[in-house]
Chain A
Amino acid sequence: MSQLTVNTALLRQILVGFIRDEVCKVGVTKGVLGLSGGIDSALVVFLAAEALGPENVHAVCMPYRTSNPQSEAHARLVAEACGVRFSVVPITPMVDAYFDSFPDADNMRRGNKMARERMTILFDQSALHGALVLGTSNKTELLLGYGTLYGDMASALNPIGDIYKSHVWQLSEAVGVPREVIEKKPSADLWDGQTDEQELGFTYRDVDELLYRLVDLRMTKAELVAEGFAPEFIDTVSRKVQNSHFKRRLPVIAKVSNRTIDRDFRYSRDWGK
């Protein structure tokens, strides 16, 4: 009953074309991205290597001392498989220096801080290499708000923000992401033993089926129940989408003039490109 199977050749063509076109039109030839060892960034680095040439893609692995060592090994494996430039910048010194002043900080604060630390590094590497930061958040994460605002959600261009996790798996197979990366359990790897699905309370497969119907097809709750989705599941997911909407928007601006940015001062980002 899955409606989430797609033609991967066509999807690949569109996303590779997107990276090439949107990077090159701003007068840049390179991309930089964080490579976590997970599947999302692995897929993006494969697409970027195809679009820009592997020599023009800088992948940065940014482990913290509690990160699973397997993550860095997988990041290295992925970088080697697609031939991009690879470097490791540990974030332990910066993150620990900060939390020395706040030793009681919980996992969420620490996880968000790590994600934002990585963001600052990527944007600095962007300046270093003259490369645009490529985002690695998929549509499932973006809709659920399962990401850190101004952290892993920050980028210049996001090739996979309109494809669900289920599509990420399919496309990763098609472009040749190493099998061990495709098959392992998705994890933000912010603390030991964390997995996405455990933390979310449902599987990506299930939530993708629901989100596709809810968001893409705009089905009503009654239709979703008739399709076999539990009402509590629908409510939980709908609430997550609504409550995380702020993460998908620019900061709200108090309007006082006649022409306010993004309200009645409207231009495409590709203005003049």
Chain B
Amino acid sequence: MDFTAALAQIKPKLGCLADNLTLVEEAVERGIREQADLILFPELALTGYFLKDLVPDVALSLDAPEIARLVALSRHIAIAIGLVEVTKDYRFFNTALYLENGAIRHLHRKVYLPTYGLFDELRYLARGDRFRAFDSKFGRLGMLICEDMWHLSAPYILAMDGATTLLCLSSSPGRGISTDDRLGSTAAWQRLTATTATFLNARVLYCNRVGYEDGVNFWGGSEAVAPSGIAITRGAIMDEDFVLAGLKEGELRRERIFSPMMRDENLALTVRELCRIEEESSR
């Protein structure tokens, strides 16, 4: 179906659940007002990014009232949002929820937790262990959280699982100043979203936050990328924004006819070779 996606390029406050929930609810109301069908928020939209020892203090269990409020709003608009999730056995996950028609329809726990350079996620968070596509009213979707997308296998698995739209929730720190008019991280992400969409004949909806935490900027630039790899629309760099993207079913259909790489992808071959590699490397 044709649908309109809103990318809520917000500026969360570090460790302030209540304030961020307000920010999120305002964006959801705006999305409803502007007749969007789906709204995306960044990774850790409810908490901010460099949480460190705050992780347990801002974590929500899935039955938390904050989540219930968003679930209720999803009767009017589908919502994809990032938060810290705590499980019954007190593991803390960097989680993305997909809410639709008043229910949690899917949950993705970030698998690849970057722990290098300025990142320290694995110190504080537990690792997710799966990539699963899921059905929605917009067709089959897959969710990724930031670093997940930098692992080729992650969007590949989702696409092989039938996803034709990838939702990527991000808190990407801006870095790498050069003569280019974009930061190194911006240029790299734009190459990545375009390439991923092109290889997998899938749409990519990328929502990145803005603001500064301890001097680190988050560069925004949220975008909707067509299955051809062309960015349909992009959010402001470094500033808050609210981006609306109209996504046409016909565009997906035509791209899949013109470039049927996913149709021709040989799953059995890939699995066979990966199994061989795993077996050989474990000898």
Q: Which residues of A contact B (CB under 8 A)?
A: 5-7, 9-11, 13-14, 17-18, 21-22, 25, 157, 162, 265-273
Q: Which residues of B contact A (CB under 8 A)?
A: 13-16, 50-54, 174, 177-183, 211-215, 217, 237-238
Cβ B53 vs Cβ A266 within 8 A: yes
Cβ A17 vs Cβ B212 within 8 A: yes
Cβ A267 vs Cβ B177 within 8 A: no
Cβ B217 vs Cβ A268 within 8 A: no
Cβ A10 vs Cβ B13 within 8 A: no
Which of A5, A22, A266 is close to B179, meaning CB atoms less than 8 Å apart?
A: A5
From B175, which residue of chain A is reached at the shortest CB distance? A162
The residues of B that contact A6 with a CB separation of less than 8 Å are: 177-179
Least Cβ distance of A50 to chain B in Å? 14
- Give Cα A265 to B52, complex, Å: 9
Knowing A13-B238, A22-B212, A268-B214 are in contact, say whether A273-B14 is a contact too (CB < 8 A): yes
Which of B50, B53, B177, B212 is close to A7, meaning CB atoms less than 8 Å apart?
A: B177
- Give Cα A206 to B182, complex, Å: 26
- Give Cα A157 to B179, complex, Å: 26
The residues of A that contact B52 with a CB separation of less than 8 Å are: 266-268
What 9 A-B pairs come out closest when comparing CB atoms? A266-B52, A21-B212, A268-B50, A268-B214, A266-B53, A270-B14, A6-B177, A270-B213, A269-B214
Which of A157, A267, A272 is close to B16, meaning CB atoms less than 8 Å apart?
A: A272
The residues of A that contact B215 with a CB separation of less than 8 Å are: 18, 22, 157, 162
Cβ A18 vs Cβ B217 within 8 A: yes
Cβ B238 vs Cβ A14 within 8 A: yes
Least Cβ distance of B220 to chain A in Å? 11
The residues of B that contact A271 with a CB separation of less than 8 Å are: 14-15, 54
- Which interface residue of A157, A265, A266 has the most chain B CB atoms within 10 A? A266
Knowing A21-B211, A22-B212, A272-B15 are in contact, say whether A10-B181 is a contact too (CB < 8 A): yes
